[in-house]
Chains A and B, each alone.
Chain A
Amino acid sequence: MTRPLPPAREAFLLPALFLTVAGAGGLRIAPAGGALSFVPPPLITLVLAVLLLGVMARAGLLIPNGLLGDHRTGLENASGTVVLLSLFAASAQLFTCLTPDAGVLRLVFNLFFLFLLWNTLAAQPDRTRLLRSLLVVFGWAYVVRYVALAALADPQAGWTRRLLTVLLEGATAGPIEGEATAPLAGYVAFATVALYMIGLVLLPRFAAPTTAVAVVAAREAADIVE
């Protein structure tokens, strides 16, 4: 039993949030000159997005029955399909946003996401725990990609760069190349992650068990009275 979504949230708010994430996720801003470019989702991010949606469905964060089904009208099903498709596009582009564009680090990030999602799938967390877990995973990826790697690539970063170099000394075979990003790109990525997480919180959820208990109790009481 799912708690029905308000129509405005399902028809406008969720598609708007997820499509915004899908659009902003591929935005790249050149550190020199600020030229824009829009990166379509690489194939690996589509795989990761499928896996993520599977994990969400397993944990009860995404309830397909609350968006699609025979109990809903055609228009409601169309609306639910839009939410699902936009969620898929947003998930794929969020991985694009948080993954370096090239090099070994890109492979490392993708493998990290892949194993983490696989592990989460096996662990079968509940809705709240999955939300916390995703916040930590995406937050970690954000910090590494837009704070640590950007600092490593920035010769002006000073103490941050020196600290990271010392911390990574000996941990790798050679020096880790940072990835230069425009400061604005970090803000855009932060907003993208935040919007995605807000969208996840607003997805339909199972009705609270207390409601079901109250309904059963009321029915039993009515039976007794009869």
Chain B
Amino acid sequence: MRVAGLLFAAAYAAFIVSVYSRQPRTVQQLAGGVAASVGAYHVDPVNFQEGLRFFRNDQFPEARAALERADPARQDAPTQFYIAYSYYRQGWGRVYRDDALYQQGLEVVDRAIARAPGGRLVVPDPTLQMHTADELRAELQRGLTRELSDLNPMKVFEERK
């Protein structure tokens, strides 16, 4: 009885500490975190596919809405990766980068890395030019950094990844 009680208290305390460290913003995120901790969390495949379709058609706000529906608890690393990628692509411009979108993308890709096992996330999607969260993160950070090379006129020939 006492051993079971100790195990129960340890598990409950660990759950509370994890909630405080993850800081879920909604009840869905809270419930999703619990489900993910016991390996019972899955993204909704219909919404995920719809999100991918929007993403490939460059309909980024629509893609994010569908992907958020697919992963309401923000626990699935690949889904978060696509959301971050959508911020990158939407914020990318031939002569400018949208800092606000890049900043949001950076926050989401950090979340994706945090959710990935060992912090390593690879998405083998042939339609993307960047397949790892690390590449995407570096690209977003580069976009937010102000440096002299930003004035290089040859940059207008860079391609969106």
Residues 1-12 of B, flagged 1 when their CB comes within 8 A of A and 0 if not, give 111111011001
B8, A12: Cβ atoms closer than 8 Å: yes
Q: Which partner residue on chain B sits nearest A6 by CB separation?
A: B1
Q: Which A residues touch B30, using CB under 8 A? A: 36
B123 at the interface (CB under 8 A from A): no
Give complex CA distance A82, B9 in Å. 7
A15, B26: Cβ atoms closer than 8 Å: no
Number of residues in B with C-beta < 8 Å to the partner? 20
Assess A11 versus B25: contact at CB under 8 Å? Given A22-B16, A36-B30: no
Number of residues in A with C-beta < 8 Å to the partner? 23
Give complex CA distance A86, B9 in Å. 9
Give complex CA distance A40, B30 in Å. 17
B16, A23: Cβ atoms closer than 8 Å: yes
B27 at the interface (CB under 8 A from A): yes
Q: Is the interface of B mostly helix, strand, loop or mixed?
A: helix
CB distance from B125 to the nearest CB of A (A): 32
Give complex CA distance A86, B26 in Å. 26
B12, A7: Cβ atoms closer than 8 Å: no
Q: Which of A46-54, A55-63, A72-80 contacts B (4 or more CB under 8 A)?
A: A72-80
Q: Which listed residue, A12, A22, A37, touches B25 by the CB 8 Å rule?
A: A37
Q: Which listed residue, B2, B8, B23, touches A76 by the CB 8 Å rule?
A: B2
Q: Which B residues touch A34, using CB under 8 A? A: 26
Q: Which A residues touch B2, using CB under 8 A? A: 7, 10-11, 75-76, 78-79
Residues 3-38 of A, flagged 1 when their CB comes within 8 A of B and 0 if not, give 000011011100110010011001000000011111
Q: Which partner residue on chain A sits nearest B30 by CB separation?
A: A36
CB distance from A28 to the nearest CB of B (A): 11
Q: Which A residues touch B16, using CB under 8 A? A: 19, 22-23
A75, B12: Cβ atoms closer than 8 Å: no
Q: Which A residues touch B13, using CB under 8 A? A: 19, 86
Q: Which A residues touch B29, using CB under 8 A? A: 36
A8-B1, A11-B4, A16-B9 are known; give 6 further A-B pairs, CB within 8 A. Answer: A8-B5, A11-B1, A22-B16, A36-B27, A79-B6, A82-B9
Residues of B within 8 A of A (CB): 1-6, 8-9, 12-13, 16, 19-20, 23-27, 29-30
Residues of A within 8 A of B (CB): 7-8, 10-12, 15-16, 19, 22-23, 26, 34-38, 40, 75-76, 78-79, 82, 86
